[in-house]
Structure 1
């Protein structure tokens, strides 16, 4: 009877936005830390040995002044290389975006290395995740309910729950990060923009976590400032992010240097272009996906073994001239491994508007990081492809995608974001005073 209720809830969720999706039972939650890792991944490797068992890394490194690295992993040689000549042999393990790149550009290849499953999280995240498994629900697609600190849905029942695991994962309490961005034209020449970003994570905060209940609870503060180029320098975007939609969801402000004032910015959403990206990145493509889910129907297709960007320490530290090449990133630098990913298909609801009519997300089981997104237009054609270079961060026991790439197949340009190798490493030791992430505080600092 219980399984029938879960199936019925999943079916009705598309028609009834306020429906509360079922939580998992104690029998399912008991698998966490046993056959499942504490955050819900399959602990064992696969049958042919290409995916190893989970072996969590120990915490190491300073909170500031260091880039993530792993000397042993970085010294490895590729097991094999995928090109247009042998793509058919590996097609079942490739995203549609990677297939397109391989078939279209003779210079594109994928170097495949031994797989490592070392992603680890702090103990308090493990403990909170175990509690969430039986307590945390999802109302509609945008309202986590009765969730606190840990991954909200370690044993997901819906596609929307997988995306919320990505959005709410532990990333440290605070971080100040350098975000350099490249717009690369088909010749390989690029324009460089530089941003600084300040983020305070509230939901997964170690000492003062903010619980999420239906329609209530801020889960992060975000403030970005464009440093260059001069024509957009000084522009700032402030976001106070909550669960929910409309008045109970995201609150955003934009500071425009020309106007010398900060104002509410409801357009900081969805497929509106992020300031200063020349239309190459939508707001909801930051961090691979963020913002409201309400415009789409989210289908959980299950797990799949795939070749994905992983342990990309070299790509994260590469100089920008070394990365930029005509049509695609320098194919000698990214590292690919075989991992299990959750596959989630998002289809635009009738009557809703977005540039992408369908998106297919590939989400790593160990980190809940979105590693790839196939983006389709209204005619069903593959329009864009997002790729996040998955990289563990052992100093804070988390996992990021750095850098991230958006390939624009219509124009031949591609956009690279989350670069920091020619700037500064993330600073997780930063502390923000009360009131730092308010519109009045931003206006006051900008006016000095």
Structure 2
């Protein structure tokens, strides 16, 4: 009886909303001292981080129009300084543990060119308005796995608990629907790599005009991934319906294998199961630096800090460079990477003792202006630093919202790495309308077998 009572009490507790919404007085800061997304509007004391003044929302002269390559609006910017192994100690308080490890592992080749900080992040006005309303109304239920009373904007612009910034990252505004080419390179210790090309179509019901929490049918993201090369993997399909309330219904996922010619339910497309075509260097929940359920971790906000993170990554996104120009032995071509000093939320997730994950602890460095996870330090069960992630973001100024030029996952123990989300030799990511029916399993099965 005691065990049954305890189980019932636990169920009641997890079903109750967790305190998340803030008071009207606190939400009002989103219109004064904070940006509409919850970042500190002011610059820092020494001016190395400027004040946010609305972000970058005009198309530069080099931009040729919607659907074409995003060019660098700051071509005359020069590095303020370059961090190397020789001077790393001077900047150590503004580096992640993963960055420090890279300097130690590659002392003669790894470097970080630090540029003037430009707070280019900007979003449409309706996202700002929705974010303000979310601050007043959004809650979490189901032990943090159910998003309640949130729509369009980030749900928790003034976060109080560790899982809230992670939710902000998961539902941050990235447009309403579109297509991107995602090239993955699993790089060996010698610098060789095999390229896997993925065509990814996505729709965000959460950000559709007129959407309400009730209209979503519990789906916040529709995702369809098709492998186009190499031939041995071509035609492999992954379909995901990401749910808003994962207690009510976990992620729906399916996979299609050309050899079997059937679309099958795939509950393993989650957590630490290996990602498609990544040669074991990426788990499913490392796409977009982190995605999916948060329930295997206990989350806490460590604080905010000024850190050098990849930003305004137009150079490495340029179609002037081939993938071979970017991929090098040990790490990507750091001469193409741009780093800036930004304030980040530091959030740690530790695996709960009642469950498992191959990553025992993850430390996320989340950009305050965009809620994009910029860096991740990843630890194994022994407490040793194992892997390290980066996301190089840039502002899609004609939209406006930030996009990703390249993501990297470095295996510090095996001297290998994965570069993903590159499209330098493929078409630019573009908005493309998809109806929800496009992501229906029956339609995907029909298209796959044509």
Bin of the TM-score, shorter chain as denominator length: over 0.9
Q: SS of the counterpart of 2:15?
A: coil
Distance 1:389 1:146, change over 3 A: same
Counterpart of 1:233 in structure 2 is 234
Instruction: With the length of structure 2 as denominator, give the TM-score of the two structures.
Output: 0.93
Counterpart of 1:131 in structure 2 is 133
Counterpart of 2:305 in structure 1 is 304
CA deviation string 1:299-336 (max 9, x = no partner): 01121011111111111224211111111111211111
1:363 aligns with 2:366: yes
CA deviation string 1:122-169 (max 9, x = no partner): 000011111111111111221111112111111011111101111111
Contact 1:359 1:375 in 2 (8 A): yes
Counterpart of 1:183 in structure 2 is 186
Q: C-alpha separation between the residues in 2 aligned to 1:288 and 1:123?
A: 26
Counterpart of 1:51 in structure 2 is 49
Q: C-alpha separation between the residues in 2 aligned to 1:16 and 1:328?
A: 46
Q: C-alpha separation between the residues in 2 aligned to 1:224 and 1:390?
A: 21
Q: SS of the counterpart of 1:436?
A: helix
Using the TM superposition, give the Cα deviation of residue 18 of structure 1 relative to its aligned residue in structure 2, in angstroms: 3.5
Contact 1:210 1:219 in 2 (8 A): no
Q: C-alpha separation between the residues in 1 aligned to 2:316 and 2:379?
A: 27
Q: C-alpha separation between the residues in 1 aligned to 2:312 and 2:399?
A: 16
Task: Give the alignment's Cα RMSD to 1 decimal.
Answer: 1.8
Instruction: With the length of structure 1 as denominator, give the TM-score of the two structures.
Output: 0.93
Using the TM superposition, give the Cα deviation of residue 210 of structure 1 relative to its aligned residue in structure 2, in angstroms: 4.2
- Point out the more displaced range, 258-267 or 48-57: 48-57
Counterpart of 1:258 in structure 2 is 259
Moved over 3 A (4+): 15-19, 59-64
Counterpart of 2:35 in structure 1 is 37
Using the TM superposition, give the Cα deviation of residue 59 of structure 1 relative to its aligned residue in structure 2, in angstroms: 4.7
Contact 1:225 1:235 in 2 (8 A): yes
Q: C-alpha separation between the residues in 2 aligned to 1:75 and 1:273?
A: 41
Contact 2:37 2:157 in 1 (8 A): yes
Q: SS of the counterpart of 1:31?
A: helix
Q: SS of the counterpart of 2:101?
A: helix
Distance 1:196 1:47, change over 3 A: same
Distance 1:59 1:158, change over 3 A: farther
Q: C-alpha separation between the residues in 2 aligned to 1:160 and 1:342?
A: 12
CA deviation string 1:207-251 (max 9, x = no partner): 2424269x9621110000000111111000000111233661210
Distance 1:246 1:261, change over 3 A: farther
Alignment map for 1:81-230 (pairs within 5 Å): 81-106=82-107, 107-139=109-141, 140-205=143-208, 207-211=209-213, 217-230=218-231
Structure 2 spans left out of the alignment, 5+ residues: 1-9
Q: Of residues 3, 15, 22 in structure 2, which corresponds to 1:18?
A: 15
Q: C-alpha separation between the residues in 1 aligned to 2:98 and 2:13?
A: 33
Q: C-alpha separation between the residues in 1 aligned to 2:309 and 2:225?
A: 29
Structure 1 spans left out of the alignment, 5+ residues: 1-12
Q: C-alpha separation between the residues in 1 aligned to 2:329 and 2:358?
A: 25
Counterpart of 1:3 in structure 2 is none
Distance 1:94 1:212, change over 3 A: farther
Distance 1:83 1:273, change over 3 A: same
1:242 aligns with 2:255: no
Q: C-alpha separation between the residues in 1 aligned to 2:124 and 2:284?
A: 30
Contact 1:196 1:226 in 2 (8 A): yes
Contact 1:210 1:217 in 2 (8 A): no
Contact 1:147 1:212 in 2 (8 A): no
Using the TM superposition, give the Cα deviation of residue 371 of structure 1 relative to its aligned residue in structure 2, in angstroms: 0.3
